[in-house]
Amino acid sequence: MQFELSKEYRERLQHAVDNHDDAFIVQTLEGVNSADVSTLLNEFDTDDSKYVIDLLDPEIRAEIINDLDEDTREKFLRAFDTPQITEIVNYLDSDDAVDILNELPVKEREEVIAGLDNQEKEANILDLLRYEDDIAGGLMAKELIKANVNWSIDRCIEEIRRQAENVEKIFQIYVVDNEEKLIGKVSLKKLILATNEKRVEDIYETDVIAVETYMSVEEVAQVMRKYDFEAVPVVNVQGKLLGRITIDDVVDVISEIAEEERQIMSGISEDVEEDDSVWMLTRARLPWLIIGVVGGFVSAKFMGVFEAELIRITAIAFFIPLIQATGGNVGIQSSSIVLQTLANPSAFSESLVRRLLKVLLVAALNGLVLALLVYGFNMITGGEISLSIIVSCALFCVVLVASFMGTITPLILDSFGFNPALASGPFITTINDLLGLGIYFYTVHLFLS
């Protein structure tokens, strides 16, 4: 039976593990992509996963563990002793090695670093450990190919051969001066085509774009997306070349940010998955559900304030769901557009005043169309003219206010350092429900007065 990422193979592999059928495990997993093996082992418990991994080559073992989900890997590493983790780290790039070391207790982390044979890798890891995870310095890898501007072409090629032993993929050769400052780049094509009498300074390009170690991972992602980079060099404040960030690391960051914002917009306060415990899933969902219940309770009490109006015209209660649903939808639409702008900032973005004026004009047009539709529908179905006018006027005002709140709320949250995605979930919906009810009943109260 050959490997296939399916339920049938999973069951057959489980049977092989239970019966210690090592030959089947090794034969069917030979040559399989490490990411597929990681996906498969996520379905097994820690002991069975370790049994499978121990049968594979050390280099493949390291790649599989590196591809594991972060939460799964953190629990999984507890099954390995320090020498085994040291062996895994030896086969990983410095940035991936640091990710694993950060998931270990401090004592075990220091033991692993002390056990490394490669002094250059040890120095690289120690250098990366001082950076936070959410900045370019914490995302970069120290392994790269660089050439001194004064080298001859022959020496440059020889140095590339030597350096390439520690680099899995070569995207670009970075050119530095005698002080290790990044001054340009040169392509492999130019190096191969250059004649022997030329030097690096004769063929390199100076238009190199780099990111600084202190830049946030979001800013790094924006730079790589804007210029369509596969890799970007990282420099310190003095301009010295320290490392590079590759596209695979940025894709992981973008995916994590998108997942976090999706959960926040859905009203989930923690990073959870479907296979997490019942308590974790409940704890993640409950806070915003409680806020929603509180908002509903306040709405009910708010309606009690206008009990006299409800008694006089009971038909106004029929339109409460319409007002609340429209206000919530308009608010979410507006906040989603603002979030898109915040995620992709432009150097030529409009001022806040112009942005709000544009929002209000769009809201006025949408509100007018919706108000006319509701008025026309009420008249066709035999509704009273006065009630139709009240509902239409209230709906128009609700659209205006909901658009304004949906626009200004994420901007305020972003200015205070909070995740603006909060403005696209239960938060803005609850606020707009209360505001919509207030506007509706106040409009009814004015007309009845």
CATH number of residue 23's parent domain? 1.25.60.10
Over residues 106-117, the pLDDT tens digits come to 999 999 999 998
pLDDT in the model for residue 100: 92
Q: What span, in angstroms and rounded, lies between the C-alpha atoms of 350 and 371? A: 29
Q: How many CB atoms lie within 10 A of CB 118?
A: 12
Which residues is 246 bridged to in the sheet?
231
Residue 321 sits in a domain of what CATH number?
Answer: 1.10.357.20
Same domain, 227 and 126: no
What is the per-residue pLDDT for 188?
Answer: 86
Instruction: Clarify whether residues 107 and 203 are in a common domain.
Output: no
User: Both 122 and 184 in a single domain?
Assistant: no
Give pLDDT < 50 ranges for the chain.
Answer: 347
Q: Same domain, yes or no, for 197 and 340?
A: no
Burial 360-371 (b: 16+ CB within 10 A, else e): eebbeebbeebb
User: Does residue 379 belong to any structural domain of this protein?
Assistant: yes
Q: Where are the alpha helices (DSSP H) in 164-236?
A: 188-193, 200-203, 217-227
Instruction: Verify that 124 and 152 share a domain, yes or no.
Output: no
Q: Dihedral of the CA atoms 380, 384, 388, 394 (nearest 10)?
A: -160
User: Do residues 161 and 243 both lie within one domain?
Assistant: yes
The answer to whether position 22 is within a domain reads yes
Query: Is beta strand 211-212 parallel, antiparallel or unpaired with respect to 146-148?
Result: unpaired
Same domain, residue pair 119 and 152: no
192 and 104 within one domain? no
DSSP state letters, 280-339: HHHHHHHHHHHHHHHHHHHHHHHHHHTHHHHHH-GGGGGGHHHHHHHHHHHHHHHHHHHH
User: In this predicted structure, what is the pLDDT of residue 210?
Assistant: 95
Establish if 140 belongs to a structural domain: no
- Rounded Cα distance between 440 and 287, Å, is 28
CATH number at residue 208: 3.10.580.10
53 and 89 co-located in one domain: yes
Which of 104, 132, 160 represents a domain boundary (last residue)? 132
Beta partners for residue 233, in sequence order: 244
The pLDDT value recorded for residue 171 is 83
Q: How many domains does the chain have?
A: 3
SS3 352: helix
Structure token pair of residue 192: 């191969």
Is 270 part of any domain?
no
Residue 138 lies in a domain: no
Q: What is the per-residue pLDDT for 398?
A: 92
The reply to whether 126 and 154 lie within a common domain is no
Q: Check residue 75 and give its pLDDT.
A: 82
Query: 437 and 290 in one domain?
Result: yes
Last residue of a domain, one of 217, 252, 287: 252
Assess if residue 272 is contained within a domain: no
The per-residue pLDDT for range 365-378, each reduced to its tens digit, is 999 999 999 999 88
Predicted confidence at residue 282, as pLDDT, reads 77
Contact call for residues 363 and 403 (beta carbons, < 8 A)? yes
Are 369 and 421 in the same domain?
Answer: yes
Residue 323 lies in a domain: yes
Alpha-carbon distance 116 to 44, whole Å?
Answer: 30
What is the spatial distance between Cα 441 and Cα 360, in angstroms, rounded to a whole number?
Answer: 22
The range of the structural domain enclosing residue 123 comes to 7-132
C-alpha to C-alpha distances, 49 to 46, 65, 87, nearest whole angstrom: 5, 10, 17
Question: Is 269 a member of any domain?
Answer: no
